[in-house]
Amino acid sequence: MVGGAEGSFIGPIHRMAIRLDDLADLVAGNFSRNARRNAASGAAMRLDPARVYGDWRRLIDAEADKIDFLVVCTTNETHFEIAKAALEAGLDVLCEKPLSLTVAEAETLERLARRKRRIIGIPFTYVGYPMIKLARDIVARGEIGKVDKVVMEYLQGSFRKADRRNSWKMDPRIAGPSCVVADIGVHAFTMIEYVTGLDVKSLLADLSSFASGGLDDDASVIMRLDGGARAMLATSKIATGEENGVRLRVYGAKGSIHWDQESPNYLTVKYPARPDSVFRRKAPYIGEWSPVSVASSRFPAGHHEGFVEALANIYDAFVSAVLTRRAEDLPSAREGVRSMKFVEACLASSKAGAIWTKI
């Protein structure tokens, strides 16, 4: 693992997810540029001090023939360089989003992975939720009819309170050209395409900076999808009082789907002329609708699963791909490139005065 020192947000979450199904062991790392924090993190994880490296380049050089894959949990500006070096060394890579700072970099990694026959995984965690997999399968079997409209929210109020862990996200030298769109908007975009099975073709975006005066911390995006469907996305880090408001609604000709990440084990399907159906995670009937939703659930119905378990499902798919050389139900290089095209299109549209822009 590169990055993700003790005290960070995402590193410990990754380590919990890795351990959940005992599919991989963390054996080496470079967790921080700070030598003291790096060593302390390795010690806290009970790693051999000889395998805790002061530089990620030394880690790859020394461990490429000893480890099966590399996890990248660093800040955005280093993703491309680290992932590229790991792929060139013959390693599979699971890299935090965004995959890179530009579409060109993401496409370079996609081509390199194909040439090296390596796997790139990206933890778009929300597609790991069992009920999002159920939603995808309900749409695919035509239960709600042709999809006409998607309403997606990813709202946080994190920039309304002091948190030193957020400060780098507004620094373009570290975060890249976008904050909220590249940080959480890409999750929402990936969910829209995952659940509907439709690609976004063009968009109109209005990006703002309310709390910081720097990069975008609020965005409103309208999208046109394959087949004539439309989508609306509101994503923000200045939505005062919101914690992690990920809410998805998919409206079809025969019914609609409703999911809220803060109540992740329930999915509601609404119909125009019959009672709503509320699906419960791993209820006895779920297998009739979505075997993969059942396979993605670990605990009996009524025992709640959440964010860590969803990320563990991404790891399960990634480890399976590493072992079988077949990526199934895994956000991979394609999603990394698609999400960066989304970011660049949002930036271009907003800069031009909120005009329609192709992806």
The length of the chain in residues reads 359
Residues forming beta bridges with residue 207, ordered by sequence position:
219
pLDDT at residue number 130? 98
- Indicate where the chain has its CATH 3.40.50.720 domain(s): 2-125
Q: In what order do the strands lie in the sheet with 69-73?
A: 2-3, 69-73, 92-95, 120-121
Q: Fill in the amino acid letter for 35.
A: A
pLDDT at residue number 344? 98
Structure tokens, 183 = 């940080």
pLDDT at residue number 167? 83
Q: Fill in the amino acid letter for 143.
A: E
pLDDT at residue number 164? 64
pTM here is 0.96
> What's the CATH number for 2-125?
3.40.50.720
Question: Which stretches of the chain are DSSP H helices?
Answer: 10-20, 35-44, 56-63, 79-88, 103-116, 130-140, 172-175, 180, 186-196, 286-289, 291-295, 307-324, 333-351
pLDDT at residue number 222? 98
- Indicate where the chain has its CATH 3.30.360.10 domain(s): 127-300+333-351
pLDDT at residue number 165? 66
What's the average pLDDT block by block, 10 residues per block, for the chain (359 residues)?
A: 95 96 96 97 98 98 98 98 98 98 98 98 98 98 98 96 78 96 98 98 97 89 98 98 97 98 97 98 97 96 94 98 95 98 98 98
CATH topology (fold) of 127-300+333-351: Dihydrodipicolinate Reductase; domain 2 (3.30.360)
Select from 187, 237, 188, 230 the least CA-distant residue to 208.
237
Buried b (16+ CB within 10 A) or exposed e, 292-301: bbbebbeeee
